[in-house]
Structure formats: C-alpha cells, structure tokens
Amino acid sequence: MRSTASIMHLDLDAFFAAVEQRDKPSLRGKPVCVGGIGARGVVATASYEARRFGARSAMPTAEARRRCPSGTAFLYPRGDAYRASSRIVMSLLREVSPVVEQVSVDEAYVDLAAAGGIDLSPDGVRAVAQRLIAEIASATGGLTASAGIATSKMLAKIGSDLDKPAGLVVVPPGQELQVLAPLSVRVVSGIGPATEARLRSFGVETVADLQRMERADLVSIFGAAHGGSLYQLARAQDDREVVVEREAKSVSAEETFEHDVVDREVLDAQLVSLARRTAARLGKSAAFARTVTIKVRQHDFATSTRSETLLHPTGDAGVILDVARRLLAAVDVSNGLRLLGVGVSGLSTHAQEQLRFDTPHEEDEAVRPAWDGTADTEGLDIPATPAGDVRRTPGPAAYSGEGPPAWWPGQDVEHAEHGAGWVWGSGLGRVTVRFEGPTTAPGRVRTFRSDDPQLRTAEPPQW
C-alpha cells in the first residue's frame, strides 16, 4: 500500500450498451442488453435503464427478457465498435502515464506516480481524473467513465464502483479502513459466492465484520493462503503494483465447495453457472475462444484439467457449457470434487461460428425496441401497432434456421438508397433496418427481403 493516492482505476460505464446507445439514437434512454441473444445466451452488459428492471451482466438472456419490458433491445456484440472506442480511451490514459495496466476492453489501472510532474495530493489527482474523464467523453462521442484513486489497486477499483455512472472517488491515505468498513465483503478481492456464504455462516457480512476476525480463525477456515489473504485485504494491505501486461491469454471462473460434491446434478448446475460467468467475462473482453477447459480438484486435492478445441472460436455460453459437460462426463467424481472450474483460451477478436439465436414464440422477437407505429415496411405488409406494443407485432422474427444468419440484431448495415443503419431484426426471408447513426435523429424503419442486392454489411459508424 502506497503513502499517496496514486493508483487510478478507470472503468467505462455500461460500456457495450453505452456504445450501442451512442450509435443508435432511437435506443438512448431505453433499456438495452448486449450479449448472446439465443435461448442459452448470457448478458455481457446491460444499460442502466435495463438494470433498473434487474438485468445484469452474466444473467441468462432468457431471464433478462422476462424481467425487461417490451421496447428493450437485445443486441449481439459489435466487437469492432467497442475496440475502436477502447483504443481511444487507452491512448488517452497513456498520455497521462506510461504505466497503464489494461484489464479488459473497458477498464484499466493507471500509475499516476510514474507520470512525473503530477501533484499527488488528493486535490491534485482529482483534478487529473476530472480532466481525463472529460477528454474521454469528448473523444468518444459522449461515453462516460468512472474512476477511483487510492493507495492500492483494490481500493482504487472499489472507488470506481462507488459512485457510478460518471463518478469519481478519491480515497486519501489513512481513510482506507473507514471506506471499507461498511461495504459488503464481496468488494474484497478473492471473495466470491462460496466464500461469502461461508463467511455469512459466521455472521460476517461487511468488511467491518471481517476486520474483527483473527488471522488464525480465517486460516483455520479457508487455509493459509486464502485465509491470510483475506486478513490482509480486509485491512487494505494490498501491495500489488500497476504493471504493463500483455492481453489476457485465457478467461475462467471456478468454484471451491464447502463440502466435497459427488452429485452430478449439483455439479451440472455449477457448470451452468461457471459457463455463464466465463462467457460474460469473455464478452467483457470483446473476445472469442477456441479452447474450452475444465479444472477439477478431487477430494484428496489432486488437481487435473481436460480440454477440447473447437473448429471455430466461440463466445456463446451454450457452446462452452456443452463442451464442459462432455469433459466432465469423463471425470470420476465418485469420491467427490472440492473444486470445479471452466476456462477458455485461444482468444481471438472475431468469431467464425454460426450465431446462436433462440426460436421465438410468435410474440417474442429477438430484438424489441419500441415500434413507433409509423414504420415504412417497404414492399411487405406488416401492420403498424401502438407505440411500444412490439410483442403483438407480426413483424421480423428471430433467426431460427440451421445455417449462419446473414443478418443479426444490432449489425451495422448500409443500403444503396437509404444509407447507413442497423438491423432491427430478421427472419422469414426478410430483414428490418432502422436508418440512423450517432449524429442523426432517431431514424425510420424499413423492411427488405433478406437477399436485397442493395443491402450490405458495413463498418461501425463514425461519431
């Protein structure tokens, strides 16, 4: 832990959804979920409007659909658009300091002490962050960021989460314990659902509760490494430095069980959760993976891994889960597992697989932005409906064929006559497009046949 608050953690707010709302003016102020849009898809990012209805990252898309109202847009990720904005932001961070540790496409740590010439007083670093956040908004067409600045990486990251969106929290030296005390133990690095549940059984729910536990007690419960780490982090003792690292080569999630598990149904339920979490983390990195790996630790602490490499990269939770299930089926669990993990590697920035879409009911489209009742449905008889009454619109359905769809919700397209827009939905041999962009007013909707020679895919729009 440093003597100055000189580590900054910057996080772009609801990044994927914010980029979609920037580029699609008809979605501004409305709930948006980005991620896998099929029956087994996972939400990568939910806009703040969608979060008010309970949608969140790593939630199954099917659950998000049930929670969110009609008019909610469910969009497949546009990795190129997110990476373009990310490159601008990371470039701005490197203008502040040469030591930037990029954690994912939308967050990074910055070592302000390595910059030289920066006033490292609380007021001085606050001024630096305020200027940076304003520059990010200006350079990215209005995207907002939140930042935390503290004496350690853990406190900086916690600070960036305390006042979202567009927040800035500086934790001055000496106030770390005061800031930590009232927060949930989940803010402490290394505390996941299993550790949280175990701590709760001892009456520990806040960091203040955790701070009252002795090191010996935590070690006896969680072991020397994990217990000792919890003891130190609860007291803000985090000496990790900001380092310039290469991009992550793998993404994973794992769970340690309180008791050895032999029941395959219980293990399968854990696989479902782990696959969703892994897919969500993969989505947050705007990446796809070719290799799926499971990690198992037996009752006697023997640890092993099994892997399978796919023909094409995937970011789909359902694909990851299918492979993980096959791998676990070959593992002897008769004596119980202490730990189960799912990971992916062989990362790339593009997927070549078919996109997975659910087969909807008649009233449940893959994408449901509010239908304004004035859509131009060029050449097709699709009756207009009252504003927001999309569920009864017999219009574009989700793709439900076997081959890869030519058009997917959120995709950037261009029409020779009508210009640039994005795919509202597709299916049944037709594609519906809303013609608008980041610098236009909300645009009109037109429907075309899916093989219209004047319609083609396009690069992300400029803002």
CB atoms within 10 A of CB 259: 8
* Token pair recorded at residue 222: 């969680």
Domain 190-234 class? mainly alpha
Burial status of residue 324 (CB atoms within 10 A of its CB: 0-12, 13-18, 19 or more)? buried
- Per-domain residue ranges for the chain? 1-179, 190-234, 250-348, 357-463
Radius of gyration from C-alpha coordinates of the chain: 24
Give the model's pLDDT for residue 104.
Answer: 87
User: Does the domain at residues 250-348 carry the CATH identifier 3.10.129.10?
Assistant: no
Give the model's pLDDT for residue 256.
Answer: 83
- Residue among 195, 202, 148, 130 at smallest CA distance from 9: 148
Contacts of 115 (CB under 8 A, 6+ apart): 96, 97, 98
Contacts of 426 (CB under 8 A, 6+ apart): 396, 398, 399, 405, 406, 407, 408, 409, 432, 450
CA–CA distances in Å: residue 97 to residues 37, 144, 307: 39, 20, 39
- Quote the CA–CA distance of 133 and 135 in Å, as a whole number: 5
Give the model's pLDDT for residue 36.
Answer: 85
Give the model's pLDDT for residue 58.
Answer: 86
Burial status of residue 178 (CB atoms within 10 A of its CB: 0-12, 13-18, 19 or more)? exposed
Give the model's pLDDT for residue 181.
Answer: 95
3-state secondary structure the chain: CCCCCCEEEEEECCHHHHHHHHHCHHHCCCCEEEECCCCCCEEEEECHHHHCCCCCCCCEHHHHHHHCCCECEEECCCHHHHHHHHHHHHHHHHHHCCCEEEEECCEEEEEHHHCCCCCCCHHHHHHHHHHHHHHHHHHCCCCCEEEEEECCHHHHHHHHHHCCCCCEEECCCCCHHHHHCCCEHHHCCCCCHHHHHHHHCCCCCEHHHHHCCCHHHHHHHHCHHHHHHHHHHHCCCCCCCCCCCCCCCEEEEEEEEEEEECCHHHHHHHHHHHHHHHHHHHHHCCCEEEEEEEEEEECCCCEEEEEEEEEEEECCHHHHHHHHHHHHHCCCCCCCEEEEEEEEEEEECCCCCCCCCCCCCCCCCCCCECCCCCCCCCCCCCCCCCCCCHHHCCCCCCCCCCCCCCCCCCCEEEECCCEEEEEEEEECCEEEEECCCCCCCCCCEEEEECCCCCEEECCCCCC
Question: Do the bridges between strand 100-104 and strand 73-75 make them parallel or antiparallel, or are there none, so unpaired?
Answer: unpaired
Domains 190-234 and 250-348 equal at CATH topology level: no
- Quote the CA–CA distance of 77 and 435 in Å, as a whole number: 19
Using an 8 Å Cβ cutoff, are 433 and 422 in contact? yes
- Quote the CA–CA distance of 354 and 456 in Å, as a whole number: 18
Give the model's pLDDT for residue 361.
Answer: 31
Using an 8 Å Cβ cutoff, are 396 and 427 in contact? yes
* Token pair recorded at residue 193: 């659902």
- Quote the CA–CA distance of 250 and 292 in Å, as a whole number: 10
- Quote the CA–CA distance of 57 and 55 in Å, as a whole number: 7
Q: Which residues of 107-118 are buried (b: 16+ CB within 10 A; e: fewer)?
A: bbbbbbbbbeeb
CA 174 to chain centre: 33
CA 14 to chain centre: 8
Catalytic, out of 20, 49, 107, 436: 107
Give the model's pLDDT for residue 376.
Answer: 38
The dihedral through the CA atoms of 281, 284, 285, 291 has a sign that is positive
Q: How do the pLDDT tens digits run along the chain, 463 residues long?
A: 899 999 999 999 999 999 999 999 999 999 999 998 877 788 999 999 999 999 999 899 999 999 999 989 999 999 899 999 999 999 999 999 999 999 889 999 999 999 988 999 999 999 999 999 999 999 999 999 999 999 999 999 999 999 999 999 999 999 999 999 999 999 998 888 878 988 999 999 999 999 999 999 999 998 888 899 999 999 999 999 999 865 667 888 888 887 889 999 999 999 999 999 898 888 877 788 999 999 999 888 788 999 999 988 888 888 999 999 999 999 999 999 989 999 999 888 766 544 443 333 333 333 333 333 333 333 333 333 222 223 323 322 333 333 335 799 999 999 999 999 999 988 889 999 999 999 999 999 999 999 999 999 999 998 8
Give the model's pLDDT for residue 370.
Answer: 31
Give the model's pLDDT for residue 259.
Answer: 83
Whether residue 258 lies in the annotated active site: no
Give the model's pLDDT for residue 427.
Answer: 87
CATH assignment of 1-179? 3.30.70.270
- Quote the CA–CA distance of 12 and 132 in Å, as a whole number: 12
